[in-house]
Amino acid sequence: MEPLDAAAGVHALIRDLLPAVAPSAWFDSGTSEVVLPVGRSEARASSWTVLERCAREPRDAWPGVIDDWLREVGDRAFLAVGEMELFGDVRELLRLRIVPKLAPRDREGLVVVPAGDHFDAMVMIEHPRYGGPLTKARAGLLGLRKLGYVMTNTHDRELADVEVRDQPLLPGENVRVVTKPGSRYVSALLSEVEQFLPSYNENGALVGVPCHSTLLLYPITSTSVREVLPIFSDVVAEMHDAADDPCASGVYWSHGARRLTPLPPEADDSEEFAALLSRLSRP
């Protein structure tokens, strides 16, 4: 059975069981959520989780499944409201962290959206003791829905003071370093590489994000990138292996509309990149 096929029966049972399990709670038919008043606040829990659970069970098991879920939701609601009182306005603590693409089982239950083909954007609660990835359940109970402000939070509170400097890589060749020691969010600047390059460059740049506190950039202006790429790759890999908070061990070519293409250490091993080098070598 599909979860939506179970909706009518499950929602009816939720209404029947609420007076006994959570007398102060009520079911919002418009949003398919259980609303749980806690003190002067309220928490909400979508019924989708219990629909999925019931869809896997025979109908005569549904009352027990729903009873367990309602009690679980009630416990989480008290914890969530306690967090609200502890954090204050939790929206002020939300940040965006870019991570290598997660496996489906790792992203399940988390507030995560794709950030291109190779990375994911994960919403975090930034708190030294009670922080961590924001789960969908926690977001629902805290009433966090539209999260468009999270990137603004990250920029304003975490990335306004990043350091940008050039470091020698090879004789006559520098790598641009964008860093903030100890930060977990510099990797979020992967989508804004262009602003850290000396000038607009239609050929793009080599990009490395060995750890979440550092980006490495090399603007591609000539065929010298052929000699730079293996060294650049080695540096990224070494920094990744030594990092306390590693991100990605590989090198990417940033080009086009914020497109990132993985590159092997040897330029000629990538057909598309080899075509770029051929264009650059023309008089």
> What's the pLDDT score for residue 77?
73
> Could you tell me if 40 and 85 are in contact, meaning their C-beta atoms sit under 8 angstroms apart?
no
Q: Which residues pair with 171 in a beta bridge?
A: none
Helices assigned H by DSSP within 174-270 = 225-242
Rounded to a whole number of angstroms, the CA Rg of the chain reads 24
Per-residue pLDDT of the chain (283 residues; tens, 9 = 90+): 788 888 999 999 999 999 998 888 989 999 999 988 766 667 788 899 999 999 999 999 999 999 999 988 887 776 666 555 555 567 888 999 999 999 988 888 899 999 988 999 999 988 766 678 888 877 876 667 778 889 899 999 999 999 999 999 999 899 999 999 999 999 999 988 888 988 777 888 999 999 999 999 999 988 888 889 999 999 999 999 999 999 999 999 988 766 888 888 776 667 777 777 777 776 6
CA of 92: how far to CAs of 111, 127, 143, 149, in Å? 16, 11, 14, 9
- The answer, as to whether pTM is greater than 0.75, is no
Query: Cβ–Cβ contacts within 10 Å for residue 246, how many?
Result: 15
- Bin 102: left if φ > 0, else alpha if -120 < ψ < 50, else beta: beta
> Could you tell me if 109 and 135 are in contact, meaning their C-beta atoms sit under 8 angstroms apart?
yes
